[in-house]
Amino acid sequence: MWQRIQTLYFILVIGLMTAAILLPNAEFFLQEKNITYQLDSRGMVELDEQGAAKGVIGTNPLTFLFGFIIFIALYTIISFKNRRRQIRMATINLLLIIIYIAAMVIYIMVAKNKLNAIVTWNYPVIFPLIALIFNYLGMRGVAKDEKLVRSLDRLR
């Protein structure tokens, strides 16, 4: 299980998605009122002058998707004996990460338009894209293993 490169890829998916949800993804600055909002795991929070958060607008769908992506990635790692299931779970995870990215962009764009604010995109926004690539690489590695096992079965 641990000696396979796709396990490392799925662990990187877990790490990148965790970093993406914990670190602030975007900041919104309202020039008229001199207020800064931040989008992170708590949702959309208003930051005061000291940087303390107050007033939260929840982003529960993003948090739910995040939890589901982490669960599926862990399940994919654990089900290493059933490569077909691993491929299926990695495909589902690929779709969930795409949905997560789309939802994150929608949240940021809607908040930008509603607040009429200047948006600063932070670097954790790209973590789900990198996780998407690693998930694909892990899925490809599992498919390669399955192909190798099938070719060896034919030789017997």
What is the DSSP-derived secondary structure letter of residue 124? G
Q: How confident is the model at residue 12 (pLDDT cuts 50, 70, 90)?
A: very high
59: which 2 tokens? 């982003």
Average pLDDT over residues 98-117: 89
Residue 90 confidence (pLDDT): 94
79: which 2 tokens? 């089900």
Burial of 102 (0-12, 13-18, 19+ CB in 10 A): exposed
pTM over 0.85: yes
Has residue 48 got a pLDDT over 90?
no
**Is 47 part of a structural domain of the chain?**
no
Residue 51 confidence (pLDDT): 63
Residue 155 confidence (pLDDT): 62
Has residue 96 got a pLDDT over 70?
yes
Number of structural domains (the chain) is 1
Question: Which residue type is seen at 21?
Answer: I
- Helix locations, the chain, DSSP H: 5-22, 60-78, 83-115, 127-155
40: which 2 tokens? 């992170």
Has residue 3 got a pLDDT over 60?
yes
**Is 108 part of a structural domain of the chain?**
yes
**Is 87 part of a structural domain of the chain?**
yes
Query: What is the side-by-side order of every strand in the sheet holding 53-57?
Result: 53-57, 43-47, 35-40, 26-30, 118-121
Please state, rounded to an integer, the average pLDDT across all residues of the chain.
87
**Is 38 part of a structural domain of the chain?**
no
**Is 77 part of a structural domain of the chain?**
yes
**Is 95 part of a structural domain of the chain?**
yes
Nearest partner of 133 among 107, 105, 101, judged by Cα: 101
The number of residues making up the chain comes to: 156
**Is 120 part of a structural domain of the chain?**
no
Whole domain around residue 99: which residue ranges?
5-24+60-115+125-149
Quick: pLDDT tens for 110-140: 888 888 888 889 999 999 999 999 999 999 9
